[in-house]
Amino acid sequence: MAQTYRIRFPKWLWLTLAIVTGFGAAFGYMVYIANGVVVGDLWGLPGREQRIAVAQHQARIGLLSCVLLQFGVAGALFSYMDRESYRLARIVWAFVISLAVTTACGFAILLYMRAVR
């Protein structure tokens, strides 16, 4: 009988993946908010229907990328946690911590933009 080996990724790799995808999710949310502001500014102006449609489409893409990357953060944190605890508790804690990681990454992006400007 052939022996199979499972590939085990180091814990630091899961944590790094969570932080990187957290930055992506925060940036996607910022794109969503920015395009929503653009739509609000252009709403009601004559001849701007095409630009409004493009901004709404870009806002949807930003929100979709934010949600998908948020699942990536939660999945990376779920894999980072110890396997001895209950599965439901790990899922809930991964979701809660992923929101905190994404919020912290969003604040880091905003602070960087303010420092550069």
For the chain, domain boundaries? 14-116
Instruction: Quote the CA–CA distance of 13 and 68 in Å, as a whole number.
Output: 19
Ranges of the chain whose pLDDT falls below 70? 1-2
Instruction: Give the model's pLDDT for residue 45.
Output: 85
Closest CA to 64 of 75, 53, 72, 76: 72
Instruction: Give the model's pLDDT for residue 1.
Output: 59
CB 31 within 8 A of CB 59: yes
Q: Is the dihedral of CA 14, 33, 91, 109 positive or negative?
A: positive
Who contacts 6 (Cβ-Cβ below 8 Å, separation ≥6)?
Answer: none
Instruction: Give the model's pLDDT for residue 60.
Output: 95
Instruction: Give the model's pLDDT for residue 5.
Output: 75
